[in-house]
Amino acid sequence: MQEEPSSDTPTATEDRYRLLIDAVSDYAIYMLNADGKIASWNSGARRFKGYEEAEILGQHFSRFYTDDDRAAGLPQRTLDIATAEGRFEGEGWRVRKDGTRFWCHVVVDPIWSPTGSLLGFAKVTRDLTERKLAEESLKQSEQQFRLLIQSVTDYAIYMLDPSGVVSNWNMGAQRIKGYLPDEIIGQHYSVFFTEEDRQNGAPQRGLQTAVREGRFESQGWRVRKDGSRFWANVVVDPIRSDTGTLIGFAKVTRDITESVEAQRELEKAREALFQSQKMESLGRLTGGIAHDFNNLLMAVLGGLEIVRRRIPNDPRIVPLLDNAIQGAQRGISLSQRMLAFARRQELHLELVDVSALVRGMAGLLRQSLGSRIQIETRFPPAVKPVLADSNQIELALLNLAVNARDAMPEGGTVTISVREYRVDAEDGPLEPGDYLCLALADEGEGMDEATLERAMEPFFTTK
């Protein structure tokens, strides 16, 4: 009866190793002869290379390489490196039986006899196709994202290292800030801040806030390469590694100068509309009151004048009647001004010699201003007549003169000047053409900002 091999015999040990290697299905583990022909085959090799053992034994292992790699001599070079250096390790595309490709990691070790002669090679191959495809997908996604960021021109999108140095630059940053990539990469991002902001530590404070709170957002002035300023909306987000280490910052800047200016213009337009509506309402109210008030005063004035004509020249009564008549006349003048403001009093337009009008008011102005106020006039040699309502000009000039007197309680000089003025289409609300500017200047302390804002409102006074 023949005895079975002992478990400790070389034959038994070889059998166990053969069973172990054949049971491995995640790795192709097989031997090559010294000339590169396949001498063994395991289940892992059968699973992802697709060949049965009977099909592949005795075949040269170069059949697993792509045509390009075979043409480049990679199979033989692999064996030469393993022989010379004791090991070859690398990654690349290999070909299955069905012609499909897979990405693999390959290790080739030489096998030597006890006498030092080369017996063959041990080859271990692992299929890494899924990992390779995931890496390629990630690489493609990163490239697409990089191209997307680079193509954005309305936003400056770039990265900073942990210290705030610019590490990349997109087209939007180039357009908004004016720097080319090679001009700004490697520079600290504080170069974009105003001198005042740099001095008060705004750049570093922004990064510290982003690290502490996970985000920093603000608006403020920033500086372009040419030194011009723009109003920017800025967002800074910290970038951390998988372990939580800070590796830099993502910074997004948008030039919102135009939108801010548009918002300001809108607010100004709203304020102008509100003022227009207020003035319209005030005009309607003023017009109604002035019309009725004027009718009443006309009746009072008519009665007073009849009484004045019918009574004898009694020195005790006549002065009282004269004062009453003058008061009624002043009231009528006031109502006419109110009607003019309300646009219910028709303006009597005519050609007016402004210089002659002012000279004709000299006596009235001196009487109104008093002896402590000096009047100076500055008129060009020849002043063209203007189309205006002379009564309204006289009232406006008298009111300005009285205000000037009140602004100089210690006395001073009032200067009345006339100059020609050309209005172009872009100058403002006036129709383009030739105008005459009538100005009255005093030596008073002037108006503060709050008073100046309301100076043109009808009936506004500080008295």
Indicate if 376 and 445 belong to the same structural domain: yes
Indicate whether 17 and 114 sit together in one domain.
Answer: yes
Instruction: Judge whether 34 and 52 are in contact, CB under 8 Å.
Output: no
Is the predicted pLDDT of residue 2 greater than 60, yes or no?
A: no
Give the separation between CA 246 and CA 447, rounded to whole angstroms.
Answer: 57
Q: Does residue 3 form part of some domain?
A: no
Q: Which of 190, 221, 255 is the last residue of a domain?
A: 255
**291 and 330 together in one domain:** yes
Residues 357 and 302 in one domain: no
Cβ burial 187-202 (10 Å sphere, 16+ → b, else e): ebbbebbeeebbeeee
Highest mean pLDDT among 25-34, 337-346, 452-461: 25-34
The most confident of the ranges 150-154, 167-171, 264-268 is 167-171
- Boundary-marking domain end, from 187, 222, 255: 255
Average pLDDT, the chain: 84
* CA-based torsion, 145, 151, 156, 159: positive or negative: positive
Torsion, CA 208, CA 214, CA 220, CA 222, rounded to 10 = 70
Domain boundary among the residues 255, 285, 316 is at: 255
What pLDDT is recorded for position 329? 73
Query: 54, 60 in Cβ contact below 8 A?
Result: no
Question: Can you give the pLDDT at residue 460?
Answer: 62
Q: Measured between alpha carbons, how far is 442 from 374 in angstroms, rounded to an integer? A: 10
Which own/partner pairs from 198-205 qualify as long-range (CB within 8 Å, at least 24 positions apart)? 203/164, 204/164
Shared-domain flag, residues 66 and 108: yes
Residue 42's nearest CA partner among 34, 31, 33 is 31
Of 35, 69, 74, 29, give the one whose Cα is nearest residue 49: 29
Claim to verify: residue 327 and residue 358 sit in the same structural domain: no
In a shared domain, residues 106 and 34: yes
* Residues in Cβ contact with 286 at an 8 Å cutoff, skipping those fewer than 6 apart: 338, 341, 342, 458
Q: Is residue 2 part of a domain?
A: no
Are both 249 and 276 inside the same structural domain? Answer: no
pLDDT at 1: 44
Residues 34 and 106 in one domain: yes
In this structure, is residue 194 part of a structural domain? Answer: yes
How many structural domains are present in the chain? 4
My answer on whether 69 and 23 are in the same domain is: yes
Tell me, yes or no, whether 415 lies in a domain.
yes
What CATH number is attached to the domain comprising 163? Answer: 3.30.450.20
For residues 202 and 274, membership in a common domain is answered with no
Which letter does DSSP use for residue 458 in this model? T
CB 119 within 8 A of CB 113: yes
Collapsed DSSP state (helix, strand, coil) of residue 155: coil
DSSP class of 165: B
Of the two residues 456 and 33, the one the predictor is more confident about is 33
161 pLDDT tier (thresholds 50, 70, 90) = very high
359 within a domain of the structure (yes/no): yes
Confidence of residue 238 (pLDDT cuts 50, 70, 90): very high
- Is pLDDT of 394 > 90? no
Q: Is the pLDDT of residue 4 over 60?
A: no
Residue 234 in this model has a pLDDT that exceeds 50: yes
What long-range pairs does 431-436 form, CB within 8 A, spacing at least 24?
434/384, 435/386, 436/354, 436/383, 436/384, 436/386
Residue 23 has pLDDT above 80, yes or no: no
147, part of any domain? no
Beta strands 350-352 and 386-388, pairing class: antiparallel
Give the model confidence (pLDDT) of 246-262 as tens digits. 999 999 999 988 887 77
| 227 pLDDT more than 60 | yes
Is 320 contained in some domain? yes
Question: Residue 441 is part of a domain; what is its CATH number?
Answer: 3.30.565.10
Give the H/E segment covering residue 105: strand 101-112
Residues 51 and 123 in one domain: yes
**Residue 99 pLDDT more than 90?**
yes
Over residues 162-184, mean pLDDT: 92
* Residue 235 main-chain phi, psi, to 5 deg: -130, 130
Q: Provide mean pLDDT across the span 105-123.
A: 94
Range of the domain at 361: 350-454
Name which residue leads in pLDDT, 399 or 240: 240
CB atoms within 10 A of CB 221: 14
Q: Looking at residue 333, which CATH number applies to its domain? A: 1.10.287
Residue 146 belongs to a domain: no
